[in-house]
A and B are shown apart, each in its own frame.
Chain A
Amino acid sequence: MPAKASRAAFGEALLELAAKDDRIVTLDADLSKSTMTAAFARAYPGRAFNLGIAESNMVGLGAGLALTGKIPFVCSFACFVVGRFETIRISVAYTNANVKIVGTHAGIAIGEDGYSQMGLEDIACMRALPNVPVVQPADELETRQAIAWAVEHEGPVYLRLTRQNLEPVCPVGYRFRFGGWLVLRPGTDVTLIGTGGTVFNCLEAAKLLAAEGVSAEVIDAACIKPLDEESLLASAGKTGHVVTAEDHSIAGGLGGAVAEALGEALPTPMRRLGVQGFGESGDAKGLYAKHGLDPAGIAGSVRKFLNR
């Protein structure tokens, strides 16, 4: 499979799933070309609602549709849709409406548009809502499966998708499991946990480290909430060192979730890699290098951590 953005895989998956399930509808706020629901809207004009640049109303309207039995995918950039947190909190979460909130354009990887368009605090926000799972697939295959799972799952879901292309990382035949992590590469010295766009970089970093004799176990944490505590504890218990890498604020994301779990169940030395401060304009590669999320940056942090 060639590299593909998870937003693109989402748009294709939705189109396929919609043919079998007429409960699926899409809601957009003038970004359907970017969230990739445009193809769905062309195929099913009666099931796609573009509500204008009015995200709060989109979220609430989605809740109402869900309460009549529809399965609405409510889509925008992660920052804009999660920015309507108070409406998500009451109209979707507390109401327990079967709404699938899709935040695309996650992280600094969107590059040139700069901070105002980057979803960087969305995991932290959504993770705090009691009944909302947070899922961020790492490649096309995983995205397709996560979308199919979201349709079947009764209740709100937050799906975090990328603008940039993602190299395939999951093995052929992989089955997405809700609350399950995938060990992509076994190792013994350090556990490297990525999510979404950083998973591939963790694998590349592991190769760099292997050349130096460091054995890194690489995990794809598509389920940020609930996280796979069994896999986490098994790996952390084995390696004794945990590093998380995510294209999200250093506060409250995957690293925060892992630290919370380890802190209670198995205190383990760890490092959280992520975005410090606000994002900024630039090319994605340069930004990843600046924030230490490229393979060399991740490998460097691991090296420093193990030699501490």
Chain B
Amino acid sequence: MADARLETIARECRVQIIRMLTHAGSGHPGGSLSVIDVLTALFFGRLRHDPRRPDWPDRDRVVLSKGHAVPALYAVMAKTGYFPESRLVTLRKLGSPLQGHPDRTALPGIEAATGSLGQGLSISLGLALGLRLRQAPARVYCILGDGEIQEGQVWEAAMAAPKLGGPAHGLDNLTVVLDYNKIQLDNFVAKILDLEPVLAKWQAFGWSVLEIDGHDFEQINKALDQAEATVGPVIVVAHTVKGRGVSFMENDPEWHGKAPKPAEAIRAIRDILGVPEAEWSGHLARHPETKALADELAALGAK
């Protein structure tokens, strides 16, 4: 079943991801588009957070361990009010707090520096343990990439998590989401270093494992509910499509780490909005905001 509100928000965020990457002229669209639905579900309705008080001690934490997908995080952060949406176009520009990979010291709301793959789960364990030790009601959400879990540190953390804290302070407050889009940088994961059987691996390490379609909001929300009700750490293996929403980017390793050119960006946005090419000019005439965005991107191309 579709959640129309979340679908709409995620669509708007996808448009912003394309917009900011095009302005930046570099960045990672594929993994941002695959993870945006999970981030949308988290930031719109799930998290206990207050964008005006990013240092609220009892806030839920999101650690985007696959830090290169930070445009997706910036999109939901802007939309929930951590900073004005107009700032998104400063991504990767000199002096901007919107660093190419997350910088905790530069942007309030970022919980940890990530971007060196494989580190976020360990930090999340520390956060979850620290919160449990002081009986804080907060939860920790950690998002891993599938290629990322080839890193050894992830498995050090995976081994530790179910054992940490003892019965009194077990990590019941930790939910990990694996953005299983089947593609890493160079190629398909199965062609580089296959992860399968990935569910069995986490189960063998002592985790509760859930498996969902990471683009289906009902499934995402159900899994996150279930994770909250589970004793001990949970990993949600979310099957996703890299580049999801932009037909020419979907499932193509080429779109891991390259920004669209302005003309491609406009085509991508039309795709995201689901408007057939023949109806595009009519659509723009009826939607001045989209027209302004298309003009903004076209102007980048003219530069």
Task: Tell me the A residues contacting B by CB distance below 8 Å.
Answer: 46, 49, 51-52, 54, 56-70, 72, 86-87, 89-91, 94-97
Task: Evaluate contact between A95 and B104: CB separation under 8 angstroms.
Answer: yes
Residues of B within 8 A of A89 (CB): 116
Task: Evaluate contact between A90 and B160: CB separation under 8 angstroms.
Answer: no
Q: Give Cα A56–Cα B123 distance, bound, in whole angstroms.
A: 10
Q: 25 A–B contact pairs at CB < 8 A? A: A52-B160, A56-B122, A56-B152, A57-B122, A57-B153, A57-B160, A58-B122, A60-B119, A60-B120, A61-B122, A61-B125, A61-B129, A61-B157, A64-B127, A65-B129, A68-B57, A68-B136, A69-B130, A70-B130, A86-B116, A87-B122, A91-B112, A91-B123, A95-B105, A96-B104
Nearest CB on A from B148, distance (A): 13
Residues of B within 8 A of A51 (CB): 156, 160
Task: Evaluate contact between A67 and B126: CB separation under 8 angstroms.
Answer: yes
Q: Give Cα A72–Cα B105 distance, bound, in whole angstroms.
A: 20
Task: Evaluate contact between B129 and A94: CB separation under 8 angstroms.
Answer: no
Q: Give Cα A72–Cα B156 distance, bound, in whole angstroms.
A: 19
Task: Evaluate contact between B113 and A64: CB separation under 8 angstroms.
Answer: no
Identity of the chain B residue whose Cβ is nearest the Cβ of A72 in the assembled complex:
B126
Q: Give Cα A57–Cα B57 distance, bound, in whole angstroms.
A: 24
Q: What are the interface flags for B95-131 relative to A under an 8 Å C-beta threshold, 1 for contact and 0 otherwise? A: 0000000011100000111111011111111111111
Residues of B within 8 A of A49 (CB): 129, 164
Task: Evaluate contact between B134 and A68: CB separation under 8 angstroms.
Answer: yes
Q: Please name the 10 residue pairs, one residue from A and one from B, whose CB atoms are nearest each other, closest first.
A: A64-B126, A60-B122, A68-B130, A57-B156, A54-B156, A94-B113, A61-B126, A64-B127, A56-B153, A65-B126
Task: Evaluate contact between A68 and B126: CB separation under 8 angstroms.
Answer: yes
Task: Evaluate contact between B126 and A60: CB separation under 8 angstroms.
Answer: yes
Task: Evaluate contact between B113 and A54: CB separation under 8 angstroms.
Answer: no
Residues of A within 8 A of B157 (CB): 57, 60-61
Nearest CB on A from B118, distance (A): 8
Main DSSP-derived SS at the A contact region: helix
Whether B159 sits at the interface, judged by CB under 8 Å, is yes
Task: Evaluate contact between B128 and A64: CB separation under 8 angstroms.
Answer: yes
Task: Evaluate contact between A64 and B119: CB separation under 8 angstroms.
Answer: no
Identity of the chain B residue whose Cβ is nearest the Cβ of A53 in the assembled complex:
B156
Task: Evaluate contact between A87 and B105: CB separation under 8 angstroms.
Answer: no
Q: Give Cα A89–Cα B118 distance, bound, in whole angstroms.
A: 13
Beyond A65-B126, A67-B126, A68-B130, whether A90 also contacts B152 by CB under 8 A is no
Q: Give Cα A90–Cα B101 distance, bound, in whole angstroms.
A: 11
Nearest CB on A from B116, distance (A): 4
Q: Give Cα A61–Cα B131 distance, bound, in whole angstroms.
A: 13
Task: Evaluate contact between B153 and A68: CB separation under 8 angstroms.
Answer: no
Nearest CB on B from A41, distance (A): 14
Residues of A within 8 A of B131 (CB): 68
Task: Evaluate contact between A56 and B112: CB separation under 8 angstroms.
Answer: no
Residues of B within 8 A of A91 (CB): 112-113, 119, 122-123
> Which of B103, B115, B121, B125 neighbours the largest number of chain A CB atoms within 10 Å of its CB?
B125
Identity of the chain A residue whose Cβ is nearest the Cβ of B122 in the assembled complex:
A60
Q: Give Cα A70–Cα B127 distance, bound, in whole angstroms.
A: 10
Identity of the chain A residue whose Cβ is nearest the Cβ of B111 in the assembled complex:
A67
Residues of A within 8 A of B120 (CB): 60
Task: Evaluate contact between A64 and B112: CB separation under 8 angstroms.
Answer: yes
Nearest CB on B from A146, distance (A): 24
